[in-house]
């Protein structure tokens, strides 16, 4: 029975590959492939679940698939099936089936019909990998696929300004969650001295022994997992991204941000629950976070004028309650609550266009301020203050803008006044000198030898921040990111022995993707008179193939699981010591900002209103 788990990933993968080669005009065949894929997955799951329950529903673990093996290091894919996976797969396959049937008529003759179904199948692959993951490495593969497919579906209407801008914002929040995942994976390697399987977490004696000997490490891993879960499930302070994600088509909003993707944070907590079950401080933090999110988003939802925003905040409020249930150990209640909330929000989002059209003539707002004569004056003031805060969405969006995007821009702009020729020459000299002194460490002053890895990592972080705020030359922004990867490799090589084989695993995807992306930029800049990063150009309308190739290059350079660089990133963290938190954080932020900068370059060049259209296109955003 274990071998059947393969099919839940294999079937959507085959469907996705088939759909890529169907012509855009063949709408019936495109939707039929998506419908057949999700339907077949649902039938296989129902059959397996029936037999599995009759056999006593034992946990199933698929033998490991070794992707890379080196001395002291092993990267494996492992799949795990239990009642959590069963519930999530059941809800996911059924809702995907329903949404594909709905979408084949809803999006009829829509520009991007094929692109929508391709992305839905791509998302379904990532979802299946995530909920069937048996270790952190496998989970992170699906986690990354969910992130990029979310960006693509939010920016589905890529000829509009707001969907593209919101897509980048949501992708940035997801990358913050990636920081938590990377740091949790890094320290879990040192806690267990192996790639821990989720099945092993059910062994209370083994888990408790490791936690007792490394209590602070255990708490830190749990908190990093909570950061990842909160970012993915729109909990405070990340709740404001959920209504912004509703810029995509209604079916994608339903399947992504009403039901499946937004509940992946809950899945992460359920899957790792045996690890932090006896860390009561962590359970209290998770419960309080869920409670605060539930109250705040409930208040915001009650004053929303947009039906999609109201549903989005209502969903976040329910997920906050699920966080509380998970923290209290009510696993079955949390699973039942997840299924109910997912079906309800999907239904609400799918019928919302019809509901609005039915009631469009009845939308007369007659607001009368409530009098507070019967209550104390101070209580009335509190009521009005809460109402105004809810109208302003508790300034959550302003909070993220100030402490995330504006902070990154502010730091990057402090070094942006340096000319790119000076930056390339200075950083090139530092890079060459660094690799030379790596093998001749006697030339490094003694007081610097212990700090060389951190200094080089910070220099690389500054470089990628400069790429993030680069406005003039896309090629220079691209080169900064490639150079940053070289600095990461150099920093880790100073920190620990990093042989040539490991370096090639990491750099192979970087250089391959870097060359493809740079050639794509050259071709675009030769075809167009002026190309910079000051505005959205929307060149995907004219250069569809080039836009696709450049997107793949961006994904490869960002460490997406399509090149060996994805394994190389995990390999790099295995060479960072347990007590080097600052060094690990600088590497993590460097990799995360890499991804944000790459998606920004792609969005500026290929998404947004087409620059040569007759209508005015927006310039640099505020």
Q: Please, are residues 492 and 572 in contact by the beta-carbon 8 Å criterion? A: yes
Pairing type for strands 65-70 and 60-61 reads unpaired
Q: What percent of the chain has pLDDT over 70?
A: 92
Q: pLDDT tens for residues 509-534?
A: 899 999 999 999 999 999 987 888 88
Mind giving me the DSSP string for 393-439?
GGGHHHHHIIIIIHHHHHHHHHHTTS-HHHHHHHHHHHHHHHHHHHS
pLDDT, average across residues 144-172: 89
Helix (H) / strand (E) containing 523: helix 500-527
pLDDT in tens, 227-237: 999 999 999 88
pLDDT tens, 368-414?
555 555 667 778 788 888 888 889 888 888 888 888 777 777 777 77
Residues 317-354: tens digit of each pLDDT: 999 999 999 999 999 999 999 999 999 999 988 887 76
d(CA 81, CA 60): 5
HSE, CB side, 13 Å, CA atoms: give it for residue 621.
19
> What CA–CA distance (Å, rounded) separates 264 from 367?
39
pLDDT in tens, 79-88: 999 999 999 9
**Which pLDDT score, from 0 to 100, does residue 119 have?**
92
Most confident residue range from 43-57, 179-193, 261-275: 261-275
Say if CB 521 and CB 474 are below 8 A apart: yes
Averaged pLDDT for residues 129-156: 91
Across residues 204-217, what is the average pLDDT? 80
Q: What is the pLDDT of residue 362?
A: 55
- Please compute the mean of the pLDDT values over residues 453-465 and round it to a whole number: 89
Phi, psi of 272 (to 5 degrees): -100, 10
Query: Which residues lie across from 28 on neighbouring strands?
Result: none
Written as one string, the DSSP assignment of 133-156 is BSBHHHHHHHHHHHHHHHHHHHT-
pTM over 0.85: yes
Predicted confidence at residue 514, as pLDDT, reads: 93
Alpha-carbon distance 590 to 571, whole Å?
Answer: 16
Mean pLDDT lowest for which of 23-27, 282-286, 442-446? 442-446
pLDDT score recorded for residue 414: 73
* pLDDT of amino acid 620: 46
Give the per-residue SS3 of 169-233: HHHHHHHHHHHHHHHHHHHHHHHHCCCCEHHHHHCHHHHHHHHHHCHHHHHHHHHHHHHHHHHHC
Q: Which of 121-125, 248-252, 297-301, 497-501 has the lowest mean pLDDT?
A: 497-501
pLDDT more than 90, % of the chain: 37
Position 417 scores a pLDDT of 65
**CA dihedral angle for residue 197, residue 201, residue 205, residue 210, rounded to 10 degrees:** 70
Structure confidence at residue 429 (pLDDT): 86
Per-residue pLDDT band for 622 (boundaries 50, 70, 90) equals very low
pLDDT of amino acid 444: 72
pLDDT, average across residues 259-279: 92
How far apart (Å, rounded) are the C-alpha atoms in residues 9 and 59?
18
Q: Give mean pLDDT, residues 53-59.
A: 87
Residue bearing the bigger pLDDT, 5 or 96: 96
d(CA 274, CA 329): 10
> How far from the centroid of its chain's Cα atoms is residue 59's Cα?
28
**CA-based radius of gyration for the chain:** 25
DSSP 257: I
Distance of CA 480 to the CA centre of its chain: 23
What's residue 369's pLDDT? 57
Mean pLDDT rounded to a whole number for the chain: 86
Question: Is 582 exposed, middle or buried, given 0-12, 13-18 or 19+ CB atoms closer than 10 A?
Answer: exposed
- What is the predicted pLDDT for the residue at 201? 86
Contacts from 162-166 at CB under 8 Å and sequence distance 24+? 162/247, 163/247, 163/248, 164/536, 164/603, 164/607, 164/608, 165/621, 166/244, 166/245, 166/247
- Which helix (H) or strand (E) covers residue 65, if one does? strand 65-70
Which region among 49-53, 355-359, 377-381 has the lowest average model confidence (pLDDT)? 355-359
What tokens appear for 85 in the block? 């996976």
Residue owning tokens 């997920």 = 319
């Amino acid at each position: 029975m274990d071998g059947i788990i393969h099919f839940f990933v294999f079937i959507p993968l085959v469907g996705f590959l088939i759909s890529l080669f169907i012509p855009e005009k063949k709408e019936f065949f495109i939707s039929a492939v998506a419908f057949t894929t999700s339907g077949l997955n649902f039938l296989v799951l129902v059959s397996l679940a029936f037999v599995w329950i009759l056999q006593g529903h034992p946990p199933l673990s698929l033998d490991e698939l070794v992707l890379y093996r080196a001395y002291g290091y092993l990267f494996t894919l492992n799949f795990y099936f239990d009642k959590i996976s069963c519930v999530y797969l059941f809800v996911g396959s059924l809702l995907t089936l329903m949404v594909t049937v709905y979408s084949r008529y809803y999006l009829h003759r829509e520009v991007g019909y094929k692109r929508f179904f391709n992305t839905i199948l791509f998302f379904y692959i990532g979802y299946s990998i995530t909920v069937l993951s048996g270790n952190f490495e496998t989970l992170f593969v699906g986690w990354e696929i969910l992130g990029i497919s979310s960006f693509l579906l939010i920016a589905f209407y890529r000829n509009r300004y707001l969907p593209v801008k919101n897509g980048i914002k949501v992708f940035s929040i997801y990358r913050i969650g990636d920081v938590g995942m990377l740091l949790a994976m890094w320290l879990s390697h040192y806690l267990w001295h192996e790639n821990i399987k989720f099945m092993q977490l059910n062994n209370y004696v083994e888990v408790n022994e490791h936690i007792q000997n490394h209590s602070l490490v255990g708490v830190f891993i749990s908190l990093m997992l909570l950061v990842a879960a909160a970012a993915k499930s729109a909990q405070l302070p990340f709740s404001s991204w959920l209504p912004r994600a509703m810029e995509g088509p209604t079916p994608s909003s339903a399947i992504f941000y009403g039901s499946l993707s937004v509940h992946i944070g809950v899945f992460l907590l359920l899957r790792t629950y045996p690890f932090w079950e006896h860390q009561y401080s962590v359970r209290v933090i998770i419960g309080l976070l869920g409670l605060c999110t539930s109250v705040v988003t409930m208040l915001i939802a009650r004053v929303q004028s947009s039906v999609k925003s109201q549903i989005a905040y209502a969903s976040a409020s329910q997920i906050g309650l699920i966080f509380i249930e998970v923290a209290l150990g009510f696993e079955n209640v949390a699973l039942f609550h997840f299924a109910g909330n997912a079906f309800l929000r999907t239904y609400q989002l799918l019928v919302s266009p019809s509901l609005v059209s039915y009631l469009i003539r009845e939308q007369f707002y007659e607001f009368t301020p409530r009098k507070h004569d019967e209550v104390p004056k101070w209580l009335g003031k509190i009521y009005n203050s809460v109402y105004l805060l809810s109208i302003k969405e508790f300034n959550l969006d302003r909070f993220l803008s100030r402490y995330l995007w504006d902070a990154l821009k502010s730091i990057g702009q402090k070094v942006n006044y340096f000319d790119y020729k000076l930056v390339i020459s200075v950083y090139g000299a530092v890079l060459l000198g660094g690799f030379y002194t790596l093998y001749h460490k006697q030339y490094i002053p003694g007081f610097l030898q212990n700090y060389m890895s951190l200094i080089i990592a910070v220099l690389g972080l500054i470089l990628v921040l400069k790429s993030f705020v680069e406005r003039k030359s896309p090629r220079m922004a691209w080169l900064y990111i490639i150079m940053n990867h070289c600095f990461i490799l150099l920093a880790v090589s100073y920190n620990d022995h990093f042989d040539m084989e490991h370096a090639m695993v990491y750099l192979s995807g970087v250089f391959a993707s870097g060359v493809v992306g740079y050639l794509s930029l050259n071709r675009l800049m030769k075809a167009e008179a002026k190309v910079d990063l000051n505005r959205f150009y929307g060149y995907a309308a004219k250069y569809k193939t080039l836009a696709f190739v450049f997107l793949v290059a961006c994904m490869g350079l960002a460490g997406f699981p399509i090149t060996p660089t994805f394994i190389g990133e995990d390999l790099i963290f295995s060479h960072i010591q347990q007590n080097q938190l600052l060094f690990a954080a600088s590497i993590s932020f460097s990799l995360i900002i890499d991804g944000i900068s790459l998606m920004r370059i792609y969005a500026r060049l290929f998404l947004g209103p087409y620059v040569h259209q007759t209508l005015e296109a927006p310039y640099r955003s505020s």
